[in-house]
Structure 1
Amino acid sequence: MTTTLVTGANGQNGSPLVDLLAAQGQTVRRATSRTPTQAGEVHLNLATGEGLAAALADVDQLFLLAPSGYSNHHELLIPTIDAAKAAGVRKVLLMSAMGANADDSIPLRRAELHLERSGLAWNVIRPNWFMQNFHTFWLQGIQTQGQILLPVGAAKGSFIDTRDVAAVAAKLLSSDDFVNQSHDLTGSEAFDHTQVAAILSKAAGRTIGYTDVPEDAMRQGLLGAGLPADYAEFLLAILGAFKTGYAERTTDAVQRITGKAPIRLEQYAQDFKAHWA
């Protein structure tokens, strides 16, 4: 029986992935940075390396993503890849981000390249911006002001549902059909944030708008929420890339790998409307 270690197992991507892998009959080891409270959980802090050797013991596959709140992704991911190889892990699936391969000096790209050269079986997935951000990271503005508040102008993004990211990851971790390949993952259609707001409004039964806020206002909001300065600047940089149109592109990867069309933004809005209503 295959044993797969899932980092970020309680997150938007990891949680549905755990369920899909378990349904396939895999033994899933769920990594948590907190003290484990349930069977199948193991303590792992990628920022410090604490618990890494124990978490990787007798593992066949690793689903790896960088924890939120850090911009030095390569410094966390590369030692983990090396430890996985030393532990005898066969395959590593790294979740990166769409656009990370634009420049080999980008921290996530440095981790991608290290994995590709590691000698391990590998996959890299690069999702576009998540639909789920609208009921998590961007939720406060919607709840308190009825507005999506972002410095991205009228640019469009082909947002992807994290359930589709999990479905792709589950397929790649249950087959070698796509081994040693990278895939950019998107939804099937691109929307600007005014269009997103209209779709959320219809599902929630209330008016939600979009305000293109100045970058510095976004910076102050991020810092006021307690984010480290370097991570706030990282978020502003990738939001800037969105504003220039980098997130508008669509791919067929979800359909090609899973055999199913990506979840539509309208369906996502219906499924999570209670958060905005």
Structure 2
Amino acid sequence: MATHTNPAQPTTLILGARGTVGSALNPLLTALGHRTRLATSRPPQAADEVHLNLLTGEGLSTAFAGVDHAFLMAPPGHINQDVLLAPVIDAARAHNLKRVVLMSAMGANADENAPLRLAEKQLQATGLAWNVIRPNWFMQNFNTFWLQGIREQGQIFLPTGQARGSFIDARDIAAVAAALLTTDTHANAEFDLTGAEAIDHDQVAALLSQATGRTIGYTEVTPEAMRPGLLAAGLPAAYADFMLLILGYFKAGYAERTTDAVQRITGRAPIGFAQYARDYREAWA
């Protein structure tokens, strides 16, 4: 049976489509009338998936063929984000995409030579309609990266002292990306994305305790004590060192700033940490 697609219906390529942000972005774009093409480094399992290996460039031309818009991000676990994203940004320009949103990270623009900043600048120089979004630390780190200590010992083990972070829910990042990919209101602008308030890890632990009915605490550890756990979790040594470096920036207070970008772009307040904790409470059971 032949399928007929609406030629006016744009196609959006989503990098990291099975990840925390990408998996939340896909249904939002679909609901807004976009066809989505989901880039995966694994063999495609569905008709809307396309194989794309950013480490080798394999699948790049196929991924971009017939695409109108794209959501770009670097694959996690690598520190040479500029090298991995450069061919992707070149492909977006070669295919003359109507709109490109790049997810970077808050603080990437503090150093003009940082790999993510170099990728941002490359996109901004393409002549395409672009947005750069720089989220702060994800709330979802607590149900992924920091999960084991919470589950097994009831403790958040991090080298962050009493510093506060304006943690953002990945669902808000997806909502911002969806709005930027489907409207022209904020073209050619960059946004730091945060939650509405900054809290420390003792407050995080209290909110997780409240949501789960368990007693969860926060224990500060040294970077040296944390490093073996990161390596045991499968992180490459260079990326483990990068994680400890940016956790040091957190401890120094750089994650505390809040912005109104989520409210401005989506028209609603960011999800609060208490709501996140309730929504994900099964993770820490």
TM-score (norm 1): 0.99
Whether 1:161 and 2:169 are equivalent positions in the alignment is yes
Residue 98 of structure 1 corresponds to which residue in structure 2? 106
Whether 1:236 and 2:269 are equivalent positions in the alignment is no
Indicate if the aligned counterparts of 1:53 and 1:87 stay in contact, CA closer than 8 A. Answer: no
Whether 1:249 and 2:257 are equivalent positions in the alignment is yes
Give the CA deviation at 1:87.
Answer: 2.0
Amino acid at match of 2:36: V
Give the CA deviation at 1:118.
Answer: 1.2
Alpha-carbon separation, structure 2, partners of 1:226 and 1:165: 26
Whether 1:177 and 2:185 are equivalent positions in the alignment is yes
Alpha-carbon separation, structure 1, partners of 2:55 and 2:260: 34
Alpha-carbon separation, structure 1, partners of 2:198 and 2:76: 25
Give the 5 Å matches for 1:106-145. 106-145=114-153
Indicate if the aligned counterparts of 1:155 and 1:248 stay in contact, CA closer than 8 A. Answer: yes
Residue 79 of structure 1 corresponds to which residue in structure 2? 87
Alpha-carbon separation, structure 2, partners of 1:27 and 1:230: 37
Give the 5 Å matches for 1:23-34. 23-34=31-42
Residue 64 of structure 1 corresponds to which residue in structure 2? 72
Alpha-carbon separation, structure 2, partners of 1:215 and 1:243: 11
Amino acid at match of 2:65: A
**RMSD value over aligned CA atoms?**
0.7
Give the CA deviation at 1:149.
Answer: 0.7
- Figure out how many residues of one structure are paired with residues of the other and give that number: 277
Give the CA deviation at 1:126.
Answer: 0.3
1:263 to 266, 271, 276: 271
Compare 61-70 and 220-229 and name the one that shifted more: 220-229
Alpha-carbon separation, structure 1, partners of 2:235 and 2:28: 32
Alpha-carbon separation, structure 2, partners of 1:135 and 1:142: 9
TM-score (norm 2): 0.96
Percent identity over paired residues: 65
Give the CA deviation at 1:160.
Answer: 0.4
Give the CA deviation at 1:88.
Answer: 2.4
**Runs of 5+ in structure 1 lacking a partner?**
none
Indicate if the aligned counterparts of 1:155 and 1:242 stay in contact, CA closer than 8 A. Answer: yes
Alpha-carbon separation, structure 1, partners of 2:163 and 2:104: 22
Alpha-carbon separation, structure 1, partners of 2:27 and 2:180: 15
Amino acid at match of 1:224: A
Residue 276 of structure 1 corresponds to which residue in structure 2? 284
Residue 221 of structure 1 corresponds to which residue in structure 2? 229
Give the CA deviation at 1:275.
Answer: 0.9
Alpha-carbon separation, structure 1, partners of 2:65 and 2:245: 37
